[in-house]
A and B are shown apart, each in its own frame.
Chain A
Amino acid sequence: MNDMSADGYVTEDGRKIGGTLMEMKNITLRFGGVKAITDISFDIREGEIRAIIGPNGAGKSSMLNVISGFYVPQEGEVWYKGARRPQMKPYEVAQQGIARTFQNIALFEGMTVLDNVMTGRLNKMKTGLLSQAIWKGKAEREEVENREKVEKIIDFLEIQAIRKTPVARLPYGLKKRVELARALAAEPSILLLDEPMAGMNVEEKEDMSRFILDVNDEFGTTICLIEHDMGVVMDLSDRVVVMDYGKKIGDGTPDEVRSNQAVIDAYLGVSHD
């Protein structure tokens, strides 16, 4: 297989994978008496597509919420860009360059696609409310700059035709794409995708896979995704973490994971005693 040295390696298809960008160390998350995540550790390397898989209720979304700062684990540490991340609010995490999409689409339904994607740039805008309201000089320049970035993303994801369409009028598959656009607008270092392909038909899934690969390839964005469709996961990702009942039961390349007995058991269903 690939030589995964600490400094990174080059994949078979020629992508450069760097060193560790984020590391989860012995994370445990409890909701009252319920343990959602038990002592999980794994890392995300720069430039890779990292998948988290597992049966329903395995704790995947909770894990993603820990990464995005929405949940604070009772035990364990999150290391990001070589430093331990202190406890912070989700918006502070976003400012650090971590963007996400949601399992159940969370867009502003009444706003146009363009406005929705522009909200993704909010963290990059510096001017205050007053100067934005007057919209002269700096505020205007700032909007133009940000709009340009947003237009590049609109072009990239091929949603020009719905630029001015209110999100509520779009079909599901396109909404998912708009959500991806909004996340990309923040120019994240890590992009967290919570079931980007849930509820899509085969064609939409193929499109979405293409876009995920292109984002990774074109912008070098590190991607961490949760997905149920095993075919998609195995095709897309460089490395896979497998969770079951809040525990990590496997970690490695798609091939390694596929031949892991614990993983097979979890998916085929072995009685737990």
Chain B
Amino acid sequence: MAQSSQPAQPTGGLSSIPALLQRNAEKFSNKAAYREKEFGIWQHWTWAETEKEIEALALGFINLGVNEGDFIAIIGRNRPYFYWAMVAAQSVGAIPVPLYQDASAEEMAYVLDHCGARFVVCEDQEQVDKVIDIQDDLHQFEHMIYVDPRGLRKYDHHQLHRFVDIQEQGRAAYYEFIEDLKERREKLTYDSTCVMLYTSGTTGKPKGVVLSNRNIVESAKNASTFDNLNEKDEILAYLPMGWVGDFIFSVGQAYWTGFCTNCPESADTMMTDLREIGPTYYFAPPRVFETQLTSVMIRMEDAGKMKKWMFDKAMGLAKRVGPAILDGKPVGLIDRLKYKLGDIFIYGPLKNTLGFSRVRVGYTAGEAIGPEIFEFYRSLGINLKQLYGQTEATVFITVQPDGEVRADTVGVPAPDVEIKIEDNGEIFYRSPGTFVEYYKNPESTASTKDPEGWVATGDAGFFEPESGHLRIIDRAKDVGKMSGGEMFAPKYVENKLKFYPDILEAVLFGNGKDKCMAFINIDLTAVGNWAERNNIAYSSYQELAQHPRVLDTIQSHVEVVNESVAQDAMLSGCQVHRFVILHKELDADDGEMTRTRKVRRVVVEEKFKDIIEALYDGSSEVSTVTEVTYEDGRKGSISATLQIRDAKVQPAQTQKVAAE
């Protein structure tokens, strides 16, 4: 079984991304491979053109002295140039290392030092400045390449080159290096390294995950087959390039199936671009769906009575029958007709506004999504599914097949993936996507992956007996016991809280304690809009967060969540007894979150120790001073006095009464 799932070489010699590029350039030569909106117009490159661009860049790399096995760091937002740079790097036998472009100079320096990249491809002056700062300490870069020349004209260009110039030099040296390039390209096998990605990690320093061509190509192939993706699909590439998901969708699957990768004009125009492109295959972390839902709800609050009435009516119907229709389950004729009508007047236009008109397959992953949010999209007829994965697995561990989608599970094992669950509930997997190693970190590799290839996910979960779907409880290390012996699973409660548009983030404490306490971050968009409608004046985030009426609202949310948590006999101990609304948003720049916006529990616990203490010692307010980091790296501090509120808790449901 394991043997057959890991063929030494696939048929047709398609054992690397550059090989797939060659195939696509012939097979889909005139089909768009990349689109990017620039100067207000969607520019496109066909696969044949893409091949030429990448070849020119690869020749330019050889001309610059890139050797096989070198690391080339890629820092930028999703643009065709950076995808080309990655494939060009692979073509010359080098290893691309895409980074999170919004990472601080410190984080970048760590990663660049760790992989020892000799070359950097980045976007503009901002990143060039950052890289030059790092270079002052590391002295390791031989050449830096940038795409956008603005503001860089006066820089010392001994080591600094413009992207198009490198391509130009490559074209000029065509006959000199083409044989060399071909030779290097042919040397690539299923076992050569395809890419190295740094995991953000909720604890400790980032680790460099080495993924081979086998990992990428096999995973891309399996997932594409699973969802019937083909060359006619369209995706919008807007997620960080340093994240494994973007690599597998925008490179792995795009090159395997030959579909088109669309790049937005800028980070701010993403929603407009999404609507213009109307992707057929779409991926977003829950956060994006939450934000979109929040903005829809806010706009409906502002809409006229008639529109609001129609919307509520239609959404009521959609909630009842939408998901069933999507899953092909039996639904009454009248309801079907009503749903059709709703589609014409409400769902259709709404999907169009959101850019989801053409979505055939949509995924959310990275974190659990609130069931209500999930159902909202599905009820509109959008085939949104969940998958469970991680960088070390080349994304896919479990996926939800069409027609078997539920909010509380993450689906069945992806093709060729084996899963086992240890006695303590931790999930282990083995698949063709299983990573090669952590770069320069054999201890971590050994502690994560055993000699038989089983990888520990660090998540606790179980298979539901009736459906065979995997259900994740929480991070294995986050699940704990309260002093009274009840189970402590923070994520479960936090997700319930985060469903409210007013609540952006929640952090639950209580491991080893007798009661649970919570930190809340309000969502400035939603609460700000509410304040505007209710004529509540405020001058800062901090002031709004501490407004008594905001506290009242949040308290009512917390109490409703408590009621629902109390229903679950296993987790009823996790009810929130007291909570505080934080005076600042948890932020990756301050290290409180990862770049993929997962809360770093340990950091938060340490940083806001005084507030947690106050929550537990029963005081009604707490004064605190917190250090913050601004976007440009400067530090400052904010001080605040925070109100602490008590929330009503429900008595735990006794098993005896609830049984049967």
Given that A160-B269, A161-B269 are contacting pairs, would A214 and B154 also be in contact in the complex, using a CB cutoff of 8 Å? no
The distance in angstroms between the C-alpha atoms of A147 and B40, with both chains bound, is 9
- The CA of A15 and the CA of B269, in the complex, are separated in Å by 34
Interface size class on chain B is: 10 to 19
Is A151 within 8 A of B39, CB to CB? yes
B40 touches A217 (CB 8 A): no
Task: Determine the distance from Cα of A163 to Cα of B153 in the docked complex, in whole angstroms.
Answer: 27
The answer to whether A156 and B150 have CB atoms under 8 Å apart is yes
Is B266 interfacial (CB 8 A cutoff)?
yes
| B150–A161 touching, CB < 8 Å | no
- Let me know if A14 and B265 touch, CB within 8 A: no
- Check if A160 sits within 8 Å of B154, measured CB to CB: no
Min distance, Cβ B269 to any Cβ of chain A, angstroms: 5
One of B39, B151, B153, B272 near A152 (C-beta < 8 A):
B39
Q: How far is the CA of A217 from the CA of B155 in the complex (A)?
A: 12
Contacts of B41 in A (CB 8 A): 151
Which partner residue on chain B sits nearest A147 by CB separation?
A: B40
A121 to chain B, nearest CB (A): 14
Complex CA distance for A160 and B264, rounded to whole angstroms: 11
Q: How far is the CA of A96 from the CA of B272 in the complex (A)?
A: 38
Contact between A214 and B40 (Cβ–Cβ < 8 Å)? no
Main secondary structure of the interface of A (DSSP, over half): helix
The proximity string for A residues 193-220 relative to B, scoring 1 for CB distances below 8 Å and 0 otherwise, is 0000000000000000010011001100
| B606 neighbours in A (Cβ, 8 Å) | none
A145 contacts B by Cβ under 8 Å? no
* A250: min CB distance to chain B, Å: 29
Tell me the minimal C-beta distance from B157 to chain A in angstroms.
Answer: 12
Question: Which residue from B39, B151, B154 sits with its C-beta under 8 Å from A155?
Answer: B39
B residues 479-528 near A (Cβ < 8 Å) are none
Chain B residue at minimal CB-CB distance from A148: B39
Q: Scoring B residues 136 to 174 as 1 if CB is less than 8 Å from chain A, else 0, what string do you get?
A: 000000000000001101100000000000000000000
Q: Mark A1-21, 1 if CB is under 8 A from B, else 0.
A: 000000000000111000000
- A154 contacts the other chain (CB 8 A): yes
B124, chain A: closest CB distance, angstroms = 11
**How far apart are A129's CB and chain B's nearest CB, in angstroms?**
25
A229 in the interface (beta carbon within 8 A): no
B38 within 8 A of A: yes
Contact B40 A154 (CB under 8 A): yes
Contact A160 B268 (CB under 8 A): yes
**Contact yes or no, B150 A218, CB < 8 A:** yes
Interface residue? A109 (CB, 8 A): no
Q: Mark A123-148, 1 if CB is under 8 A from B, else 0.
A: 00000000000000000000000011
**CB-contact partner of B266 in A13, A14, A158, A214, under 8 A:** A158
Max chain B Cβ within 10 angstroms of own Cβ: one of A13, A160, A214:
A160
Q: Which B107-153 residues have a C-beta within 8 angstroms of A?
A: 150-151, 153
Chain A residues in 8 Å Cβ range of B153: 217-218
A147 surroundings in chain B (CB, below 8 A): 40
B40 and A13: CB pair below 8 A?
Answer: no
User: Which B residues lie within 8 Å of A163 (CB)?
Assistant: 40
Residue of B nearest to A156 (CB): B150
Closest to A114 in B: B40
Q: Is the CB of A214 within 8 A of B272?
A: no
Please report the C-alpha to C-alpha distance between residue A161 and residue B268 in the assembled complex, in whole angstroms.
Answer: 6
B38 touches A155 (CB 8 A): yes
Please tell me which one of the listed residues B38, B151, B154, B272 contacts residue A161 in the complex, with CB atoms under 8 A apart. B272
CA gap between A160 and B266 in the complex, in Å: 7
> In the assembled complex, how far is the CB of residue B345 from the closest CB belonging to chain A, in whole angstroms?
25
Check A14–B39 contact: CB distance below 8 A.
Answer: no
Residue of B nearest to A210 (CB): B151
Instruction: List chain B residues, Cβ under 8 A from A155.
Output: 38-39
A-side contacts of B269, CB under 8 Å: 160-161
| Chain A positions within 8 Å of B268 at CB level | 160-161
Chain B residue contacts of A210, Cβ below 8 A: 151
- B38, B40, B151, B269: residue with the most chain A Cβ atoms closer than 10 Å: B40
Query: Which residues of chain A have C-beta atoms less than 8 A from B38's C-beta?
Result: 155
Among B38, B39, B266, find the residue whose CB has the most chain A CB atoms closer than 10 A: B39
Q: Encode contact with B along A203-242: 1 for CB under 8 Å, 0 otherwise.
A: 0000000100110011000000000000000000000000
What distance in Å separates the Cβ of A218 from its nearest Cβ neighbour in chain B? 6
Q: Which chain B residues border A158 with CB–CB below 8 Å? A: 266
Q: What's the minimum C-beta distance from B536 to chain A, rounded to whole angstroms?
A: 20
List, in ascending order, chain A residues with CB within 8 A of B272's CB: 161
**Residues in B261-280 with C-beta less than 8 Å from chain A:** 265-266, 268-269, 272
Contact (Cβ within 8 A) A214 B39:
no
Contacts A160-B265, A160-B268; is A15 near B39 (CB within 8 Å)?
Answer: no
B151→A217 contact, CB < 8 A: yes
Q: Bound complex: CA of A248 vs CA of B154, how far in Å?
A: 34
Q: Which residues of A contact B265 (CB under 8 A)?
A: 160-161
CB A49 to nearest CB in B, in angstroms, measures 15
Residue pair A161, B266 in contact (C-beta under 8 Å): yes
Closest chain A CB from B295 CB (angstroms): 15
CA separation between A148 and B39, bound complex, in Å? 7
Q: Are B151 and A160 in contact (CB under 8 A)?
A: no
Interface mask (B244-285 → A, CB under 8 Å = 1, otherwise 0): 000000000000000000000110110010000000000000
Report A-chain residues with C-beta under 8 Å of the C-beta of B266.
158, 160-161
User: Hey, which chain A residues are within 8 Å of B40, CB to CB?
Assistant: 147, 151, 154, 160, 163
Given contacts A160-B269, A161-B268, contact A217 B154 (CB under 8 A): yes
Give the shortest distance, in Å, between B146 (CB) and chain A (any CB). 15
CB distance from B355 to the nearest CB of A (A): 15
Which B residues are in CB contact (< 8 Å) with A214? 150-151
Whole-angstrom CA separation of A147 from B39 in the bound complex? 9
CB pair B150–A13 under 8 Å, yes or no, is: no
Q: What 1/0 mask marks residues of chain B from 32 to 50 whose CB sits below 8 Å from any chain A CB?
A: 0000001111000000000
**Residue of chain A at shortest CB distance from B41:** A151
Complex Cα spacing A163 to B265, Å: 12
Contacting B at CB under 8 A, from A148-173, are 148, 151-152, 154-156, 158, 160-161, 163
A130-B62 Cα distance, complex, nearest whole Å: 57
Closest to B271 in A: A161
Identify the closest chain A residue to B630 (Cβ).
Answer: A203
- Complex CA gap A156/B266 in Å reads 12
Residues in A neighbouring B39, C-beta threshold 8 A? 148, 151-152, 154-155
Within the assembled complex, what's the spacing in Å between the Cα atoms of A98 and B169? 40
A218 surroundings in chain B (CB, below 8 A): 150-151, 153
Residue of B nearest to A13 (CB): B154
The 8 Å CB contact of B154, one of A14, A151, A156, is: A14
Query: Which residues between 4 and 40 of chain B lie within 8 Å of chain A, taking CB atoms?
Result: 38-40
Complex alpha-carbon distance, A220 and B269, angstroms: 29
Q: Which residues of B contact A15 (CB under 8 A)?
A: 154
Please, which residue of chain B has its CB at the minimum distance from the CB of A163? B40
Min CB–CB distance B148 → chain A (angstroms)? 10
Q: Which residues of the other chain, B, contact A213 by a CB distance below 8 angstroms?
A: 151
Complex Cα spacing A22 to B197, Å: 56
Question: A213's closest neighbor in chain B, by CB?
Answer: B151
A210→B38 CA distance, assembly (Å):
22
- How close is B431's CB to chain A, nearest CB, in angstroms? 40
**Closest beta carbon of chain B to A112's beta carbon, Å:** 12
Q: List 9 A-B contacts (CB under 8 A).
A: A14-B154, A15-B154, A160-B265, A160-B266, A160-B268, A160-B269, A163-B40, A217-B153, A217-B154
Residues of B within 8 A of A (CB): 38-41, 150-151, 153-154, 265-266, 268-269, 272
What would 19 more interface pairs be, CB under 8 Å, given A214-B151, A217-B154?
A14-B154, A148-B39, A151-B39, A151-B41, A154-B39, A156-B150, A160-B265, A160-B266, A160-B268, A160-B269, A161-B265, A161-B266, A161-B272, A163-B40, A210-B151, A213-B151, A217-B153, A218-B150, A218-B153
Report which A residues bind B (CB closer than 8 A). 13-15, 147-148, 151-152, 154-156, 158, 160-161, 163, 210, 213-214, 217-218
Pick the 7 closest A-B CB pairs, nearest first: A161-B268, A151-B39, A151-B40, A14-B154, A161-B269, A160-B265, A160-B266
